[in-house]
Structure 1
């Protein structure tokens, strides 16, 4: 049965939340944990195992790799620098980093376009991980590079060069952007350029510590410090049984997707951010101005400056971000008025096998997670 802590059940149906969590585990997820807040009421739950070999259970206080949720932290740090006058959102990136994005392209791509993924810069990932070369053409990819690069120490400038020199995926500021980690590695370099410190130091001091997050930080090596789950990567059924990638050098994404956090810290962060306590009201309004982009999953979504909206028909809008790395996934969203929050972490990724056309097949985990999200967000 799920391991649950509850402070009040007036608005949070803990029985439904417990059942929804357990259903995700029964559908095939090794383990997951979550925190849901409604006002001052808090529910925390966990279901399944942190280690399939030993049966060690997951708990709701575990630290977890949260992937591209990191981008909200990075974007907030950039907007803080914009508030101080060190960065202009609509200035060309070439004026700050002419060697990394040279020539006319550097003049055409603005800081804002990097944050909202409308730069047209390609994703570097398939070039850094050769077996993913056909990504996002999933049927032609393979997981071999994941093992090859478990302890590789990537140079972020070299990764940026891979993305900048790859064929463009759009025109700067075009009507449809394309999600690309190259954008955020450039923002990391921009933070270092204008602050004179590392991006990790800048984000830690100005965002993480400002929010009072106790269990959030960047990795100092390939291991996750503190209580955590193993992280199982299935790579579309090509790794069977799924393999543990909890020990991994995260320089392949750096401060664009390497953050380690807890579901409690994520809810605290997004609550404070949407209350205007991490960046000012005008910056928060900029973060919530969306454009249309194509996500890494090939879906067209609305995306702001490190934030995107989630809503069901006829329901309230939530703002937040999701993230995945090898074996780990997380989603953190907060209702626009801050009155309800959800953070969920799962310890397996890419569970959908491919059909004969190379498209991911539906999996019971998909429906079970969607049901959990509905219960957590809308009751």
Structure 2
């Protein structure tokens, strides 16, 4: 694989995303032992405080790779069987025929058919994932709401099914990962947050990564600006937010350096066994919330970059914050990036998100960083 690694071009590409309308973003790119870190724009647009590449950030569903790895760690230990019915472990949460039909593997790769609970937890997200039918009011109302995972799972299990167990394509659902967290608690005897921290975060030596238990984001960080397709104008900061609505399916706080370290160790077979990693890399088609089809394994997304081969990793979004971390199959090239604005696209008369200059600029940076 032939790579270009030009720090000046990488910084210029970041600056272009900022000029296109992204308040602030930062990244780390690694290539065969070389490391570049860059940042562009503001962590706080009101004060002019700049973003830096060392900042801590909410990374959304990148968390899923950590949670999946923790489950695979227990598979390695013989405590969990990937192909056992979830009803064998959690019959009270997924009872009856569904509990017998849905396996642990189906939870991790989103082929369980269980609906996402999110639209039912937030009344104003009743149209989720259709942005034209969603309103942002309940974000403020629930900024400090503490959700109980069992209740969220109950909402997802009771909702109309998103598919049949094992059916393809799968349907991306946070309900799956909250169930996996309950499974981790069952087999480890400690909370899912403590289990993932002990078995994955601490073993990988990630000093700036945590699963928070409260609403605050501690340490140097950017504000997280939510635009909600232009319905919040100007965008509102949601860096302080109780993440119990997602738990260890999307609540992780990390840095670009820690994410690159984690995915590097994971793909090298230093977090879980090589056989468990091979299971993570068995992919199926999964429909994401935005309608796009993901090539999805066990908590890993597979991406093919023309001319540069296969990449593995995950992307994520929270209210006001986004992240992406990818590593080449040979482990030589890595990119982790974080942005501090979400849902910047406005909607047309049909309720469809319209192209924005940020889209093209961001994609150009990602392609440059991965190639």
1:138 & 1:325 partners in 2: Cα distance?
15
Deviation per CA, 1:79-129, whole angstroms, max 9, x where unpaired?
A: 010111110000000000000000000000000000000000000000001
Structure 1 runs of 4+ off > 3 angstroms?
A: none
- Alignment map for 1:117-156 (pairs within 5 Å): 117-156=110-149
- Alignment map for 1:258-277 (pairs within 5 Å): 258-277=251-270
Q: Does 1:373 align with 2:363?
A: no
Q: Which residue of 1 aligns with 2:82?
A: 89
Q: Does 1:55 align with 2:48?
A: yes
SS of structure 2 residue aligned to 1:104: helix
CA displacement at 1:290 relative to structure 2: 0.3
Superposition TM-score, scaled by structure 1 size:
0.96
Deviation per CA, 1:177-201, whole angstroms, max 9, x where unpaired?
A: 0000000000000000011011111
CA displacement at 1:314 relative to structure 2: 3.5
CA displacement at 1:309 relative to structure 2: 0.9
| Aligned counterpart for 1:35 among listed residues 25, 28, 33 | 28
Q: Does 1:169 align with 2:148?
A: no
| Aligned counterpart for 2:318 among listed residues 311, 314, 325 | 325
What is the root-mean-square deviation of aligned Cα atoms in Å? 0.9
Q: Which residue of 2 aligns with 1:16?
A: 9
- Alignment map for 1:1-379 (pairs within 5 Å): 12-378=5-371
1:224 & 1:322 partners in 2: Cα distance?
20
1:164 & 1:90 partners in 2: Cα distance?
20
CA displacement at 1:11 relative to structure 2: 5.2
SS of structure 1 residue aligned to 2:39: strand
2:361 & 2:346 partners in 1: Cα distance?
17
Q: For structure 2, list consecutive stretches of 5 or more residues without a partner in the other structure.
A: none
SS of structure 2 residue aligned to 1:33: strand
CA displacement at 1:15 relative to structure 2: 1.0
SS of structure 2 residue aligned to 1:50: strand
1:186 & 1:292 partners in 2: Cα distance?
21
CA displacement at 1:315 relative to structure 2: 2.6
SS of structure 1 residue aligned to 2:337: strand
CA displacement at 1:230 relative to structure 2: 0.4
Does the 8 Å contact 2:295/2:303 carry over to 1?
no
Distance 1:314 1:40, change over 3 A: closer
- How many residues were matched structurally? 369
2:85 & 2:294 partners in 1: Cα distance?
25
Does the 8 Å contact 2:70/2:196 carry over to 1?
yes
Q: Which residue of 2 aligns with 1:3?
A: none
2:4 & 2:158 partners in 1: Cα distance?
52
Q: For structure 1, list consecutive stretches of 5 or more residues without a partner in the other structure.
A: 1-9
1:314 & 1:358 partners in 2: Cα distance?
36
2:215 & 2:32 partners in 1: Cα distance?
37
1:60 & 1:176 partners in 2: Cα distance?
37
1:72 & 1:94 partners in 2: Cα distance?
23
